[in-house]
Amino acid sequence: MIEDKNPQRTSLSELGEFGLIKHLTKHFEISQPSTFKGIGDDAAVLDFKDKKAVVSTDLLIEGVHFDLAYMPLRHLGYKSVVVNVSDIYAMNAKPTQITVSVAVSNRFPLEALEELFDGIALAAKEYNVDVIGGDTTSSQKGLIISITAIGEADESELVYRNGAKSNDLLVVTGDIGSAYMGLQVLEREKQVFQVNPNSQPDLEAYTYIIERQLRPEARKDIRTLLHALEVKPTSMIDISDGLSSEIIHICKQSGVGCNLYEEKLPLDPQLISVCEEFNIDSTTVAINGGEDYELLFTISMDDFDKIKGNPNFTVIGHMTPESEGIHLVTRANTKIPLKARGWNALDS
């Protein structure tokens, strides 16, 4: 792979489309038993035997979903895989394969695409998924990444969005809101840089939240952990658009209401201090932020003892009859209807 200390710029048209796909994927190894045939034919061939196959797809567009001014291509490649395997984990399934399609304008040299695919390869290794196909082409403007993730699960393992019951507990993994504030810090630094290109940003106070934005991880541990604890969630979703959006998805599809408790929201101390610095309400950030790639799920009250005290989980609310609606219960004990303000790609 090309090192930064020896920068080169190889024009993509030197390779042509066929050469490019071959070149970018040549180091990708196949490790999943369900991958029967990978890259190199009209289609890949998979064999899930008695398991169910799980399929999810996402499109990432430069200027809409990411900004190359502060997003290194290697991180972007990694994150684009994370975003997709997170959807598979949210089904309580195991990701096994991905396809990767990329469109780039001619301003990208080959070395830039190699960095992107380095990140993709790293994530594929981390999440143990085979890259089984894809497409590379030119774009009129910017970089476009389309990934389809495929996973497998026994039918009995699968968890949908529509299984939550009244009185179930609402649980979230990790902490939330940091990815959003990481983005705010990066946007601010970009503006400073535009005014004064010689400014040296000091980002030490923001390392955690910036990493949550630039280098998120999907919660591959949760499936194993829940299995070990003998807990099967009644519903599950991943937090990509924001906590309130995801809660509303679960409620609408399950036909239940929800009380979410402000005081229970798991916030990182760094997030809280950055919210103070930016004079933004941390609860608003935690609820509407998005891009955390944590898992949100509901469990039966009977399972509470099994997860109690586990540092991976925070009980943040409980489900109610549908007629009671979907509310945030504030620290002052007032109930505010929850709205899906989440990150809406079409507003940007």
Binding positions for ATP: 134-135, 161, 240
To the nearest whole angstrom, how small is the minimum distance from the Cβ of residue 271 to its own copies?
25
What DSSP string describes 316-341? EEEEEEGGG-EEEE-TTS-EEE----
| 71 closest CA partner among 187, 160, 207, 205 | 187
- By C-beta, is 215 or 341 nearer to its own copies? 341
Contacts of 204 (CB under 8 A, 6+ apart): none
Q: By CB neighbour count within 10 A (0-12 exposed, 13-18 middle, 19+ buried), where does 61 fall? A: middle
For residues 122 and 81, the answer to whether their CB atoms sit within 8 Å is no
- By C-beta, is 95 or 317 nearer to its own copies? 95
Two tokens at 179?
A: 């990815």
To the nearest whole angstrom, how small is the minimum distance from the Cβ of residue 107 to its own copies?
13
- By C-beta, is 57 or 166 nearer to its own copies? 57
What DSSP string describes 94-135? EEEEEEEEEEE-TTS-HHHHHHHHHHHHHHHHHTT-EEEEEE
To the nearest whole angstrom, how small is the minimum distance from the Cβ of residue 249 to its own copies?
8
- By C-beta, is 15 or 329 nearer to its own copies? 15
d(CA 217, CA 345) in angstroms, rounded, equals 21
- By C-beta, is 33 or 63 nearer to its own copies? 63
CA quadruple 245, 185, 261, 338: dihedral sign: negative
To the nearest whole angstrom, how small is the minimum distance from the Cβ of residue 170 to its own copies?
17
Give the residue ranges of the annotated binding site. 42, 56-58, 65, 87, 134-135, 161, 238, 240-241, 291, 343
To the nearest whole angstrom, how small is the minimum distance from the Cβ of residue 61 to its own copies?
5
Amino acid at 226: L
| 297 closest CA partner among 135, 174, 172, 147 | 172
Query: Residue 201 CA to chain centroid, in angstroms?
Result: 27
To the nearest whole angstrom, how small is the minimum distance from the Cβ of residue 340 to its own copies?
7
To the nearest whole angstrom, how small is the minimum distance from the Cβ of residue 92 to its own copies?
10
d(CA 262, CA 284) in angstroms, rounded, equals 10
For residues 175 and 271, the answer to whether their CB atoms sit within 8 Å is yes
- By C-beta, is 174 or 185 nearer to its own copies? 174
- By C-beta, is 206 or 297 nearer to its own copies? 297
